[in-house]
Amino acid sequence: MSLQAIKFDRSLKTLQILDQLLLPYSTSYIEITSIEDAYQAIKKMQVRGAPAIAIVGAFAIVVQLNKLENITVKDLLASIDYLVESRPTAVNLSNACNDIKDLLTSTFSTSDVAGQQVLDTVFKYAVDLYDADLSNNFKIGENGLNYITETLRSQNFKGPFSIMTICNTGSLATSGHGTALGIIRTTFQNLTKEKSSEDFWFEKVYPCETRPYNQGAKLTTYELDYEKITFSLICDNMATSLISTLNSTDGSIRNSSAPVKFIIVGADRIVKNGDSANKIGTFQLAAIADFFNKRNAEQIKFIVAAPRTTIDLKTETGADIVIEERPSNELTTLNAPVLDVNGTAGEKLTVGIATPGIDVWNPAFDIAPHDLIDSIVTEDTKVYIKDSEGNFKLD
């Protein structure tokens, strides 16, 4: 059974989300009973990850409509606009909300009361969104595995290899399986030493901790541990050292000398030229791969994995992406449970880890420029790579 971030009962039309703020110490679901509940849960990051927040947003509109409260289509459209503001960078939420608004305005008049027909329309959209996301994630996994296999064959690579990743892009960030972590999952299911029919095999994952919110440390390790995929957690500032150690001829870490051959990340928005917004720290990983590739001809491939719902063809370049800035206390404090001597989690406490009252800059995302991206893997069988002039063609 895989982890489920979102539980939607299709006959009762009720919605529950796994409270990701409590992971990895406790697994508890919270009820989302309105658009306002969804706004708060998304803003507080009880659910996060670009595809997951879009799905929760769409289901929350269904849940709201299911109350049959006599609101007009006009008021509903206003609440949908409000919902989009909860996380501005991830395009999936605004794509889904805009689709729903288009459906409503093309079928109903704004003065109509949002009754059963409106509910049925949004319900169908939300359920289709969820189902498509799940099946697309499995395709992303397969396409990523094929790309990895073909890349290593073409490099005539032999032996074990490692993959580095950042943030959480797995079941918890999507409807299931995941995007970047979905590729890692599919690769683990097919290309470990026991299963590989190639001269190379997948040995280990290095998830970055992902400061300041620690989605890598808390969520990705939870998923990897759950699936028994071999990994070692690293802090974000260890990435260069790790590659330098593992990719040198005599380097080894914890008995593994499997070089990092792929850095695979998710995306919150991929714009027309391929520039990709993702969790803060992603750009530096792309720059690190580029540094090693230029210096030592390492051939580390930097892969962005996302469903096509993350592609925003209306925005030309990354310069036009609005980056969400988050509260300063995410950097200056830690909120986590106290652990007893046996490691059992107790009451949650907030502890200070920086000088009180200081100025803080806390952008949630950064933009990896397309020139540092080797490939974009989506549910399309064709993996997107740049043409001879260095341009992606994503449409």
Binding site for ligand MRU (CB under 6 A): 48-51, 90, 167, 169, 173-174, 179, 215, 266-268, 278-279, 364
Nearest distance from C-beta of residue 73 to ligand MRU, angstroms: 30
DSSP letter for each residue of 53-90:
HHHHHHHHHHHHHHT----BHHHHHHHHHHHHTTSSS-
Give catalytic status of residue 380 as yes or no: no
Cβ within 8 Å of residue 207, ≥6 positions away: 164, 165, 166, 216, 217, 220, 221, 224, 231, 233, 234
Nearest distance from C-beta of residue 281 to ligand MRU, angstroms: 9
Which secondary-structure segment (H or E) carries 217? none
Nearest distance from C-beta of residue 208 to ligand MRU, angstroms: 11
Neighbours of 38 (CB within 10 A): 27
Exposed/middle/buried for residue 300 (C-beta within 10 Å: 0-12, 13-18, 19+): buried
> Which of 268, 275, 312, 374 is the catalytic position?
268
Q: Distance between CA atoms of 377 and 395, rounded to whole angstroms?
A: 14
Residue closer to ligand MRU by CB (options 55, 267) is: 267
Task: Confirm if 303 and 147 have CB atoms less than 8 A apart.
Answer: yes
Give the phi and the psi of residue 130 in degrees, each rounded to 5: -65, -50
Residue closer to ligand MRU by CB (options 167, 311) is: 167
Residue closer to ligand MRU by CB (options 35, 267) is: 267
Nearest distance from C-beta of residue 250 to ligand MRU, angstroms: 34
* Residue facing ligand MRU at closest CB distance: 266
Residue closer to ligand MRU by CB (options 64, 310) is: 310
Catalytic residues: 268
